A and B are shown apart, each in its own frame.
Chain A
């Protein structure tokens, strides 16, 4: 039985949307049941590796109902299968459960999503910014953040030759 069939049986009541493009198997799940679905895929199926956590900002996107989509790419190292799990969160407080307790690789991946999109993960052991400096206040991959920034790249002391 494939992982998708197992999910259909186990979570019969949940709103799961299955789709496929070539060999990409995609499942959209409700955010409230995200953690138990991922825990099921890790513990009772064979998806023992979390390859990627990333997010998409759907602000002003045609036909989108939610602000952020968060994407988890799972890999099975025994069969080589990949599974893409997607869920949606919204402003003003985008919050998801951390999957650090399932896969240790979630540590930095979730920090990156937090840094770039401002989506918080409850239960994460060390949710700090990972790429931008600590004093940075914006979330630069959000669509309402200007490409050229709000002047952060110019906010440094100027050294002249006479004084250095």
Chain B
């Protein structure tokens, strides 16, 4: 950074003395007008820690940029109109048919605009990638506890971004007005119409009258290319600003603490790596768009409310909504001359809202149970938060089951199963399997914690089998390196909430009551079974014990370190290896 004196805008001359270099001149010119150097000096060399999992959010960011670029291309030809026209383009099978202008312009982009199909397919693939990477990124953040203070707000922004991304995807999917998207639209209309009290009004105002009307495509177009992208862009900006302000989380390790951040500077290393990665994401989208067909609307044909194809499937991210809708039993309530459609309300409104609320509330819920008010910048290994990890994996199993539900017809055909049996199985399985998965994963995490402690206390398994003089076999353990041992132990001990000790600064005990009792119970459930890292004393004792054992077993005057058996060091009395 230039250390030129502060600009004096009252002077008659530029403040830089001497003959500055070209770069300095440019910076000077800009800074005298924008005054960005103060902020830039801190941020240009900002440190970012390195780990492969930190790249997932980057995929989401870059695929959004690809979406903006390819989307602008598509808007040049797409016509968001439901006016009926005759198709006269190059695709013979549909020529002469009447269809909406939106579908005709989609056909023209696919067949008559050179590179149009590529851009359409890139746009669709990038959208799949965008939502998928956001979800995986969110799981990474969840599993490692990166949502903890001070990052709760950024977690909420991320959750809203996923919701907006899904809505953006669905609105874009509906624009071509093909048979498949029209069917999706019809289902969405059925969901809206089932809303208690306001449903029919909402549907009539959305569609400009009865379904399908002639307004919804142009309205969705505005939502798809203006409203939602603007919101997404604004939230991405806020997400990134907070990321920069909080500085990135990092994995614990030698020299990495809660107070520092260790990694490479943004300029030049991360600028290059992230910038290069943009081209990689862009390139992959181009490959997918060029080599993998997606949404071949010409095969589906234009939308006709009386037609549907068997095996209709929405885009993958709608799969769980589709699955819930399919496996829900047909329950309706009737009273006072009105109808309440639980069969649509639960899958279409209650379940998604409950899911979103759980996701957004989790950081606050966890913080309330732990009572932890500290900032956390070191990530947790998933095994060290067994309840949280088990919860996520249980949710993943639920996601998978609902996904199966969304494709129950396809699976029935593929595996020669009875469709009704699949549905009945799923109706029970979504209540039985996630709890089983939860228990299993929680125990798994805890045994991994035990394994870590074993390794610290008794060393790692070398794979060297020793035979003692008596003929017994045992495996040799060697101590792990200091760096590794430190990394494993660099985690907090879990504290179980005890209302009896919860006394504030004035010595007043926490009020009893249901909330406190619930908090105690949750705290017990979340942390009581966890295995804590060994104390310094235990570690010391473990090491002495291990060394003692080595001596006894190996008959050596010092603990075996494995080198004796690596084939390059002679071993006394050992003859076989010489031949």
Partners in one complex: no
Residues on B facing A (Cβ under 8 Å): none
